[in-house]
Amino acid sequence: MTISNEVEDHQIGSKSGEKILELVCFKLAAEEYAVDITQVQEVIRIQRITPIPQMPEFTLGVINIRGTIVPVFDLRRKFQLPTKEFDGLSKILVADIRGTLISFIVDEILDNIRIESSCVDPSPTVKMNIDRDCIIGIGELENRMIIILDLDTVNDLINSEIGTQEPSPVGGEG
Amino acid sequence: MNMTPEEREGIIGEFLAESTEHLQLINDKLLEAESLVKEGQKVPDADLDAMFRSAHTIKGTASFMGLTKVVGLTHEAETILQRIKEHKMEITLEAIEILFDGFDVLESLLNDLKDSNQELTDIEESVKRIKALLEGDAVAPVASSETKGETESTLPPVESTEKQEASQEPLPAKSVEMPEVSSAKEEETNISEAEIKNATYISKSNINEKYLQQYLVELEQNIEDFNAQLLNLEEDNSKVDLINNLFRIMHTIKGSAGIVGVLEIQSLAHSMENILGVCREKGKTYENMFTLLFMGIDVIKELYDSLKTTQTVNKDVTQLCKELEKYYKEIINENSSPDKQDVLVKNEEASAAMTEPGLSTDQDIKRISTTIDISQFSKEERKSAEDLYKEGDQFYQIFIQIEGSCPTKSMKAFLLEEHLRKLGTILKISPLFESISDEMNSEILIGIVYASKEKDDKIKSSLSVEGVNLLSFDLMADELFSSTPEKKESDTMIKENSKPVEVGAAVQQTDVGKEVAARAKTSSVEISTIRIDSQKLDKLMNLSGELVIVRAQYARLVTLFNDSLTEQKELLRILSDIRTKYETFTGEYKRIASRNGNKRKQDEKMNELMESLSSRLAYLEMTTAKSNVMGHIHTLDETTISLGKLSSDIQTGVMQTRMMPIEGVFTRFKRIVRDIAKQVEKDVSLEIEGEDTELDKKIVDSLGDPLTHMIRNAVDHGIEDPETRVKKGKVRNGTVYLKASHQGNNICIEVGDDGKGLDPVAIAQSALKKGIIAEDQIDKMTEKEKLNLVFMPGFSTAAQVTGLSGRGVGMDVVKSMITSVNGVVDIETEVDKGTRFLMKIPLTLAIIQALLVVVGAETYAIPLESVTEIIKTRDEDIYSIDGNDTVKLRDHALSLVELEKVIKIKGTDRSQQKELKVVVISDGESQIGVAVDSLIGEEEIVIKSLSNHFTEVKGVTGASILGDGTIALILDPVAIIQESR
């Protein structure tokens, strides 16, 4: 998968007739990352996380988002980046992946950007820590290098790693 | 049918649900019938009827959906039922067996549809058997029916054309008996001629295939209804209201036949309707009409069959129509009174028009009466009609026809309009007079709703224009103004006999009113249950669960407020302390000031300050005292309590909607027990108790399989064969029982038998042989533990493996099913007395009573169901067996586990602890002690599923949100016990 459906749906024409991606940018370790804005349900402050036993390290546990139990994953651990204590800037980014809510810890939420798809390099040659399957590409915007994540693939990867089947398309909560 | 796949799927779902219910009913009734036949008793007609109706409904829906196999099979089964019902066939054990077999095949067809959306099961075999039964019996029916009197013999079998024709033969004979029919001989020849003609009959009908399928479904129902009601009427002539029904049914048959274009049915129905019309008019029946009407409906059925199979009509009905018409004329002449004459004449005229080839006047009348139906009136039209009514106008429905041969049609139309407008108001007309042109070559039918104060004779004469025929002229009943579209059929038939009533008045006690009321009544019964997508209920259930959480949060708020209230009380106390000290201070100061009374300036300043301070203090005291925080908190507390009451009411309510009686599951076992007992040649009866006990649909659904296993086991292995039983001094007939009852938040289901019982020693030996346990384990096992070995996978107690049970699966499936719905199962047995399986299952899956405990930094919930007790144990009481920590609990060794070790949750280091808190949990067989840090207490918690990511986590079944919003994982005692082994 290169571009998720949601991204395609959300691409809108710019003046030059080009597709524009609307993304939410966040910081993780030294890099800037971004995800499709339509997949982001909300960003919340760090709250108490209830651990789930028998899970790999990057699975921090579950949180309660207005009555829905949502798993929290640590992208730093997932992408084998150096770990860091949560601080005032740390946030939980809640994403809706095909009807299932999952959430990720990010170091800091930056801004929302619009980027033309021509500015996205889908197969960058740069050396990266993270799995290339997990990215849509690297976007260049005013001297910023932004790694655009494909959350569907990230979720699939997480799922296969913790040894479960593909989640059903509807409802991951009770 | 042009259905989208989704639509089809939805309809199939409905169909399956419905058909399963019908099958259940049929099976039940068949079982009853079987035992009645065995005892040589008569099977009640009502039962046969019920079975027939159910089979018929399945067939009808299936044919609508194009499920050919289901239709084919049900049709055959229905045929048998119908013949039995009509006493054309003996209800024998053989027939019942074949029916059982047929419906079993039908069930597997339904299962096919459920699983794969296809009809896979082969029906040939079953159909063949039914056919064989039918044919084998076909020789006898006449003889047997003759002894049963005329009622039955007038109902010929309608299954196949051959039989039909055979059954027609009695017809001439019957005609002889009718005094009205003059020349029976002639009739006879006519009919046989007609029959000969049938072979080469070519229908004039131009059948509209688009509506045919739908029409046939409807027609079949109507034929059935007509037959039933006619029989009913024949039995009891006084039930004149049935005439109305019959008339209506026939009218519908006629009308729809017109739409679809089956002229044969249309004309037959018309003739029959005429006869019924006379009956209705006179409010009486004629002895001889039944034979003719039955004959008529049978021919319609025959036409139906032919339409269904070949989409064409292969029968000439002219002769029969003539016969019916003749009879009709006879009965009118016999009884007609002058005032009714014109209606009858009108009927005759209409029927004359009917028989003219190529004319479809009645069809047009139906079409037009729909367009001019009052219930379809616009607001304005209605208003003007109501105004006219208030002025005392009478309302008429008029049908006129301008002859096709008339050259000046537009002029005639103009004339008619002129005449009508002079005498009254044309409320509605179709087609409009202006639209009529001379170029129209065929005759033109015009329907008019007309209001006038003039006498009807005068209106009628105004309509007598050359080249124009008055087809019908009916005074309309005023209930029409409040009528529903369905009502129009009967309403247009109310002639002069109905009196005008208040416009817009509620249903009046006229015939029609009663009829409508009765119909409304039946329809309200029909919709007393509705099917709801279970997902919607799940959603509601979740939401009501949310409500419980919110309530808990409010309760917490109240506690918080109460805490701050205590703080406020402290504040008040301090305030009053300040006041006292201030008073002392000012008093003291004034005393000192008066002593050295010279420092005035300072005094003034001090006084000012003191006054200001005093007023401030007073203000503070006042506001603090005035603030009614305590009262507010009290109100909040009360509100929270009522919120709690409401939310638990809502929860119960929503839960109730998911509840269904266990009956559906239970009743199917009557059949299963019967079949198994037959197969293993035992006499076994099933006793059912508490089948109306209700529990969550999800659980009901999952109970079917485990119960089947247990019942099978009971019959196959539990109950001894009759000889052995007699030898043991027991009654020959074994009993298996199935009981359900409520016990608090649980439902108890009991499956038992009075058979040979289970022998723990034999079970242990058997388990040893199968390698389920080791030899040295046996000695350590209690009797109960030995019994519980039957739940182990791969265990079967039967010495000989029969085809029924003992397939190696069985009780372990039972165990896992019951466990999956958070239930427990227990065995009680006594050798030669019987065995009892006791299952305890929570009423619902969504909310459970749980014990909240703290381990490490987290709170966990343990389903209270599995908690047997809570103990405290001291360090020195713990000893080690095979490296496992164990404590002695009332003569038993109880192994202690740390959750940290078993399911890897983060725990606390307890090596320094002197005393341990231990929660003893049980999975029904064994129990273990789980060490916890502290106990919070019992609480009702809402089960939420963890995200799909965590389905593989062991020892945790879900999560719940506590009052303070934190998440507590729900522990799975069964898995914990398993993991700790």
Inter-chain residue contact A53 with B904, CB threshold 8 Å: yes
Question: What are the strands, taking DSSP E only, across B756-891?
Answer: 824-830, 834-842, 847-855, 858-863, 867-874, 879-881, 884-889
Mutate to test the interface with A, among B544, B855, B949, B957 (most CBs of A within 10 A): B949
Q: Between A53, A69, A172, which is nearest B959 by CB? A: A69
B945 at A interface, C-beta within 8 A? yes
Identify whether the C-beta of residue B816 lies closer than 8 Å to the C-beta of residue B795: no
What is the pLDDT at residue B805? 42
Task: Please tell me which of A123-127, B55-59, B541-545 the model is most confident about, judged by mean pLDDT.
Answer: B55-59
Inter-chain residue contact A50 with B948, CB threshold 8 Å: no
What is the pLDDT at residue B190? 45
* pLDDT at residue B200 greater than cutoff 70: no
Of B52 and B140, which is predicted with more confidence? B52
Inter-chain residue contact A55 with B953, CB threshold 8 Å: yes
**Mean pLDDT within B503-529:** 44
CATH superfamily to which B1-148 belongs: HPT domain (1.20.120.160)
How would CATH label the architecture of B847-980?
Beta Barrel (2.40)
Please, which residues bridge with residue B496 across strands? Answer: none
Q: Between A51, A69, A163, which is nearest B947 by CB? A: A69
Inter-chain residue contact B905 with A53, CB threshold 8 Å: yes
Instruction: Name the closest residue on chain B to residue A73, using Cα atoms.
Output: B949
Q: What is the DSSP string of B433-470?
A: GGG--TT--S-EEEEEEEEESS-HHHHHHHT--TTEEE
B953 at A interface, C-beta within 8 A? yes
What are the strands of the beta sheet with B934-942, ordered from one edge?
B934-942, B847-855, B858-863, B967-971, B956-961
Neighbours of B580 (CB within 10 A): 10
Mutate to test the interface with A, among B967, B971, B972, B979 (most CBs of A within 10 A): B967
pLDDT-based confidence at residue B224 (cuts at 50, 70, 90) = confident
What is the pLDDT at residue B188? 42
**Mean pLDDT within B670-680:** 82
**Mean pLDDT within B321-349:** 62
B457-479 per-position pLDDT tens digit: 777 777 777 777 777 777 776 55
Q: Between A67, A100, A164, which is nearest B546 by CB? A: A67
B938 conformational bin, left if phi > 0, alpha if psi -120 to 50, beta if neither? beta
CATH 3.30.70.1110 boundaries in chain B? 361-526
CA–CA separation, B223 and B158 (whole Å)? 11
Inter-chain residue contact B946 with A52, CB threshold 8 Å: yes
CATH superfamily to which B168-359 belongs: HPT domain (1.20.120.160)
> Can you give the CATH number for the domain in which A64 is found?
2.40.50.180
Taking CB atoms and an 8 Å cutoff, what residues of chain B touch A50?
858, 959, 966-969
Inter-chain residue contact B950 with A48, CB threshold 8 Å: no
Identify whether the C-beta of residue B191 lies closer than 8 Å to the C-beta of residue B324: no
- The CATH class of B662-842 is alpha beta
The rounded mean pLDDT for chain B is 75
Instruction: Name the closest residue on chain B to residue A69, using Cα atoms.
Output: B946
One-letter amino acid at B904 equals: K
Helices (H), B311-378: 318-335, 341-355, 361-371
CA–CA separation, A167 and B538 (whole Å)? 19
pLDDT-based confidence at residue B496 (cuts at 50, 70, 90) = very low
- Distance from the Cα of A128 to chain B's closest Cα (Å) equals 27
B727-774 per-position pLDDT tens digit: 888 888 889 999 998 876 678 899 999 988 888 888 888 888 877 788
Residue A157 lies in a domain: yes
Taking CB atoms and an 8 Å cutoff, what residues of chain A touch B542?
174
A164 at B interface, C-beta within 8 A? yes
pLDDT-based confidence at residue B849 (cuts at 50, 70, 90) = confident
What is the pLDDT at residue B5? 64
Inter-chain residue contact B967 with A55, CB threshold 8 Å: no
Taking CB atoms and an 8 Å cutoff, what residues of chain A touch B955?
53
Inter-chain residue contact A162 with B950, CB threshold 8 Å: yes
Taking CB atoms and an 8 Å cutoff, what residues of chain A touch B948?
100, 159, 164-165, 167-168, 172
The percentage of chain B sitting over the pLDDT mark of 70, rounded to a whole number, equals 78
Inter-chain residue contact B956 with A172, CB threshold 8 Å: no
CATH number, span B361-526? 3.30.70.1110
- Determine the structural domain holding residue A113 and report its residue range: 5-161
What is the pLDDT at residue B860? 95
pLDDT-based confidence at residue B881 (cuts at 50, 70, 90) = confident
Q: How many residues would you count in chain B? A: 981
A111-162 per-position pLDDT tens digit: 999 998 888 888 877 777 777 888 899 998 888 899 999 999 999 888 888 8
- In chain A, the number of structural domains is 1
* pLDDT at residue B446 greater than cutoff 50: yes
Q: Between B905, B943, B952, which is nearest A163 by CB? A: B952
Neighbours of B459 (CB within 10 A): 20
**Mean pLDDT within B895-906:** 88
Instruction: Name the closest residue on chain A to residue B899, using Cα atoms.
Output: A53
CATH 1.10.287 boundaries in chain B? 534-658
Instruction: Name the closest residue on chain A to residue B846, using Cα atoms.
Output: A174
Taking CB atoms and an 8 Å cutoff, what residues of chain A touch B965?
64
pLDDT-based confidence at residue A173 (cuts at 50, 70, 90) = very low
B258-295 per-position pLDDT tens digit: 777 788 888 888 888 888 888 887 777 777 788 888 88
Q: What is the ipTM of this complex?
A: 0.83
CA–CA separation, B471 and B349 (whole Å)? 7
B103-139 per-position pLDDT tens digit: 888 888 888 888 777 787 788 888 888 888 877 754 4
CA–CA separation, B880 and B887 (whole Å)? 8
Identify whether the C-beta of residue B941 lies closer than 8 Å to the C-beta of residue B969: no
Taking CB atoms and an 8 Å cutoff, what residues of chain B touch A54?
903-904, 952-954
- The CATH class of B534-658 is mainly alpha
What is the pLDDT at residue B371? 65
Cis amide leading into B431 (omega within 30): yes
At a CB cut-off of 8 Å and minimum separation 6, what does B87 contact? B144, B145, B148, B152
A169 at B interface, C-beta within 8 A? no
* pLDDT at residue B823 greater than cutoff 90: no
B566-601 per-position pLDDT tens digit: 887 888 888 889 889 988 988 888 888 777 766 666
Size of the A and B interface in Cβ pairs below 8 Å: 93
Inter-chain residue contact A71 with B903, CB threshold 8 Å: no
The percentage of chain B sitting over the pLDDT mark of 90, rounded to a whole number, equals 3
Q: Which of A 108-137 lie inside 8 A of B, CB atoms?
A: none
* pLDDT at residue A91 greater than cutoff 90: yes
Q: Which of A 33-72 lie inside 8 A of B, CB atoms?
A: 48, 50-55, 59, 62-64, 67-71
B958 at A interface, C-beta within 8 A? yes
CATH 1.20.120.160 boundaries in chain B? 1-148, 168-359
CATH 3.30.565.10 boundaries in chain B? 662-842
Of B502 and B569, which is predicted with more confidence? B569
pLDDT-based confidence at residue A52 (cuts at 50, 70, 90) = very high
Tell me the pTM.
0.43
Inter-chain residue contact A69 with B903, CB threshold 8 Å: no
- Distance from the Cα of B955 to chain A's closest Cα (Å) equals 9
Inter-chain residue contact B949 with A69, CB threshold 8 Å: no
- Phi, psi angle pair for A61, to nearest 5°: 145, -150
What is the pLDDT at residue B557? 84
Mutate to test the interface with A, among B947, B951, B953, B976 (most CBs of A within 10 A): B947
- Distance from the Cα of A33 to chain B's closest Cα (Å) equals 24
Taking CB atoms and an 8 Å cutoff, what residues of chain A touch B546?
67
At a CB cut-off of 8 Å and minimum separation 6, what does A174 contact? A69, B542, B943, B944, B945, B946, B958
Taking CB atoms and an 8 Å cutoff, what residues of chain B touch A68?
944
Mutate to test the interface with B, among A65, A68, A69 (most CBs of B within 10 A): A69
Token duo for residue B367: 């079409």
Q: Between A70, A102, A164, which is nearest B951 by CB? A: A164
* pLDDT at residue B542 greater than cutoff 70: yes
